[in-house]
Structure formats: C-alpha cells, structure tokens
Amino acid sequence: MKKQSIILSCLFFSFLFIMTACSSNSFDNGNSNENSDVVTVYDPNGKKLTEFTEEEDVVYFSELIGNSVENMDEDNVMSTLYKSVPKDAELSFKYVFTHTKDNGKQTTVDFYVYKNYPYLTLKGIPVISPLTWELSEEDNNILQKPLEYKN
C-alpha cells in the first residue's frame, strides 16, 4: 500500500512538472521565439496532423493528461498504472509535448493513444517511462478526436 502511494505521488509530481513547464509564462508573446510550448499530433504513420501552440490549447491538453493520472484509484495504482499494451493494440495518435527552455534546449514527452483500447502510454521521462494506464471514457473520446478540438 505504501509503495503504491509513493509511486502514485512520484508520477503525479512528474506530471505536475510537465504541466508547469507547459503552462508557464514561457509562451511566445510576440517579443521572442526562444521559448515555446507545443503539442503536436501525429497519425499512426508518423504524419503530422495538427499542432497546438496557443497557451490555452497546450494547457488544456496538459491538464487533460495530468488529470487522467490524478484521478487514478490509489488503492489499485499498481494494476492501473502498469498495464501492458496488448499486442493487438492499434495506434490511433501520438501526442508530442515539446517545451523549449530559455537556453534553447527542448524537452519532449510522447503520449500514445490506441484505437481499440482506452489506454494512454507515456514515453520520454527517464526512470518512470514507459507507463501505460487506462483512460476514462470521456478523456479517451477527447484524445481520439484531436482534429475536432476547438479552444
């Protein structure tokens, strides 16, 4: 039980870090192109479908994914968090969150959603990834329709 709480806390704080990085005041305000946060969506073949660069959009997707972790059942975090992606899972979309720091270095985190399973896989955070967990029906529906998103 204690191990589950520690893992859930670590994961939550990792997402909090991602959300803070993506929702900080590092957005381009017209004065500089040095800082930017972007959510890019790719199809299963790696073709870029859309890109969200507005602060409101990036924060929306960051919070959507962050809250999907926050809402996990703490008593069942091990089984909830360490799902295996089934062999027959078909990739639906890849969401790439990119944060560019003041010094020009970029940090990226990838999220994968699947056509035939309500799962989300996180890759790109050393030590804790890859991780896969089940999404709520509502979160999955939103992530399955990135081209229908309107701010």
pLDDT in tens, 34-53: 458 999 999 999 999 999 99
Q: Is the pLDDT at 92 greater than 90, yes or no?
A: yes
Whole-structure pTM value: 0.75
Query: Residue 31 to residues 28, 101, 122: CA-CA distances in angstroms?
Result: 7, 15, 33
pLDDT in tens, 42-91: 999 999 999 999 999 999 998 898 888 765 655 554 545 556 889 999 99
